[in-house]
Amino acid sequence: MSIDATPDRARALWRELAAAPDAAFGTPGVCVSPGSSLAPPSWVGVVTIGDTALITTPTDRAADSVRTALNGLPATRLTDPAALTALLPVSDTLGPAVLAYLTPDALRPPGPTDTPTERLTPGDTALRALSEEAGEADAGESGLEEITSPVFAVRDEGARVLAAAGYAHWPRDTAHLCVLTAPDARGRGLARQVASEATAHALAAGLLPQWRARPAASRRVAAALGYRELGAQLSVRLR
Q: pLDDT above 90 covers what percent of the chain?
A: 91
Look at residue 72 in the predicted model and tell me its pLDDT.
86
Q: What is the pLDDT of residues 216-238, one digit of tens each?
A: 999 999 999 999 999 999 999 99
Dist. CA 224–CA 80, nearest whole Å = 25
Angle at 7 between CA 205 and CA 169, to 5 degrees: 35
Q: What is the mean pLDDT of residues 186-198?
A: 96
Q: What is the pLDDT of residues 3-61, one digit of tens each?
A: 468 999 999 999 999 999 999 999 999 999 999 999 999 999 999 999 999 999 999 99
Question: What are phi and psi for residue 142, nearest 5 degrees?
Answer: -70, -30
Q: Which residues are CB-neighbours of 192 under 8 A, at least 6 positions away?
A: 110, 221, 224, 225
Confidence band (pLDDT; 50, 70, 90) for 1?
very low
Q: What is the mean pLDDT of residues 62-73?
A: 95
The CATH architecture assigned to 104-229 reads 3-Layer(aba) Sandwich (3.40)
Look at residue 113 in the predicted model and tell me its pLDDT.
83
Of 47, 53, 63, 68, nearest to 238 by C-alpha is 63
Residue type, 185: A
Residues listed for the chain: 239
* Extents of the domains making up the chain: 3-98+233-238, 104-229
Q: Quickly count helices (H) and strands (E) in the chain.
A: 8, 10
Q: What is the mean pLDDT of residues 72-78?
A: 94
